[in-house]
C-alpha cells in the first residue's frame, strides 16, 4: 500500500467508528484474524474457508478500485490491536493459502495502519483483471462442500456470483489494463558491468520512473533486455536479459501514484553465464558499452501483471 491508500483507509475506518461510514463491496472489517489452524468438531477448517470466501469476494467485486480487509474493528465500532501473527501463520503462509485454493491468481499484500493510537492490520487486494475468481474447494460451517464457487460482495454482504455478476466481471476485465503505464529513463554513461561469484554479472543502474497511467503501481521487479555485438561465450547470440535483484518478500522496489516520478538505483544481474566465462564477458561488455543497445524494459507489478515501459536512454 502506498501512503495515499493508507490515508484513505484510515479515513474510512474513522468514518465507520463515528457512524458516518459503512462496509462496502471493497471495504470489509473484522474484529480479529481468522484462526487458520482452528477446526470445528466436525473437522471443518471453518476460519480458513471463510477467509478464502472473503478474499475471493473482494477480488470479484464490481469496479476498478482496490479492496481492503481490515482487522481490529468490531461490529460495535470499537478498536482492538491487531497484528498479522494473530492468525497463527506467516505472511508467506497466508499468501500461499490464497494462491493454492483460489483459481486465477490473486496478489495480496499486508500492511499496518494506526487509528486513534491502535494498530490495525490489513490485507490489500489490488483490482484484478483475472476475475472471476473461484474458491476451488469450499466447505461451509455446516460441512456442505462445494467446488469452484465464485463469491462476490454486495454492499456489506457476500453472495455466490450469478450470471449477471459474471457478465459484469468479464466486461470489466477488458478495461482494467489500459490505465497502467510507465516511462523509464537512465543515463548509460554511468553503466559499469561487474562480476560477483554469488550471482554472476551485475550492473547497478540509476533509473528514473514516472507513472503516466491513472492507477497506483507497486513495482516488484525490473527486466532489462540488451543487444550487443557477438561474443562466443554467450549462447543466446547477441541478446542478454538482466533482472533486478530480489528485495525482501513482498517488498516493492517502487510505489508510485499517478503522475509521480522517482529515481532509484536498481541492481540488475544476469546469472545465466558460467562462472569461468563471466569475468571475460564482463570485460567484453565494458569494452563495447557504446555499441550496446538497451532494447526494452519490462516491469512486474504486485498484481502479477507485466508492463512494457516506455524506455528512454541518454548519454551525457
Domain boundaries, the chain: 3-175, 182-314
Q: Are 267 and 217 in contact (CB under 8 A)?
A: no
* Distance, CA of 183 to CA of 9 (rounded, Å): 28
Q: Are 266 and 204 in contact (CB under 8 A)?
A: yes
On the 0-12 / 13-18 / 19+ scale of CB atoms within 10 A, 131 is buried
pLDDT in tens, 91-149: 999 999 999 999 987 889 999 999 999 999 999 998 887 889 999 999 887 888 899 99
Which CATH architecture fits 182-314? Sandwich (2.60)
Considering only the top CATH level, what class is 3-175?
alpha beta
pLDDT in tens, 142-200: 888 899 999 999 888 899 999 888 988 888 776 655 578 899 999 988 889 988 877 78
Neighbours of 207 (CB within 10 A): 23
pTM over 0.75: no
pLDDT in tens, 207-261: 999 998 877 888 989 999 988 776 654 545 577 889 997 776 668 899 888 889 9
Residue 187: beta bridge partners?
Answer: 314
Amino acid at each position: 500500500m502506498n501512503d495515499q491508500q493508507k490515508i484513505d483507509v484510515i479515513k474510512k475506518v474513522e468514518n465507520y467508528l463515528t457512524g458516518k461510514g459503512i462496509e462496502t463491496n471493497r471495504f470489509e472489517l473484522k474484529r480479529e484474524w481468522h484462526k487458520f489452524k482452528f477446526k470445528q468438531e466436525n473437522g471443518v477448517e471453518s476460519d480458513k474457508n471463510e477467509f478464502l470466501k472473503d478474499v475471493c469476494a473482494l477480488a470479484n467485486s464490481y469496479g476498478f478500485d482496490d479492496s481492503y480487509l481490515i482487522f481490529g474493528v468490531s461490529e460495535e465500532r470499537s478498536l482492538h490491536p491487531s497484528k498479522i501473527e494473530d492468525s497463527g501463520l506467516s505472511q508467506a503462509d497466508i499468501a500461499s493459502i490464497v494462491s493454492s485454493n483460489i483459481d486465477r491468481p490473486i496478489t495480496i499484500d499486508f500492511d499496518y495502519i494506526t487509528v486513534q493510537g491502535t494498530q490495525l492490520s490489513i490485507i490489500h487486494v489490488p483490482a484484478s483483471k483475472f476475475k472471476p475468481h473461484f474458491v476451488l474447494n469450499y466447505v461451509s460451517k455446516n460441512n456442505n462442500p462445494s467446488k469452484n464457487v465464485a463469491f462476490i460482495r454486495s454492499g456489506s454482504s457476500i453472495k455466490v456470483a450469478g450470471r449477471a455478476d459474471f457478465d459484469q466481471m468479464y466486461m470489466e476485465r477488458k478495461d482494467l489494463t489500459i490505465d497502467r503505464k510507465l516511462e523509464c529513463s537512465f543515463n548509460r554513461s554511468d553503466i559499469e558491468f561487474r562480476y560477483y561469484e554469488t550471482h554472476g554479472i551485475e550492473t547497478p543502474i540509476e533509473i528514473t520512473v514516472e507513472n503516466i497511467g491513472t492507477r497506483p503501481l507497486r513495482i516488484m521487479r525490473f527486466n532489462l533486455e540488451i543487444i550487443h555485438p557477438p561474443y562466443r561465450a554467450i549462447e543466446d547470440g547477441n541478446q542478454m536479459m538482466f533482472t533486478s535483484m530480489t528485495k525482501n518478500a513482498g517488498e516493492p522496489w517502487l510505489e508510485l501514484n499517478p503522475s509521480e516520478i522517482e529515481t532509484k538505483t536498481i541492481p540488475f544481474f544476469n546469472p545465466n553465464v558460467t562462472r569461468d566465462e563471466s569475468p571475460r564477458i564482463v570485460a567484453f561488455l565494458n569494452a563495447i558499452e557504446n555499441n550496446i543497445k538497451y532494447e526494452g524494459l519490462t516491469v512486474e507489478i504486485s498484481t502479477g501483471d507485466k508492463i512494457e515501459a516506455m524506455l528512454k536512454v541518454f548519454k551525457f
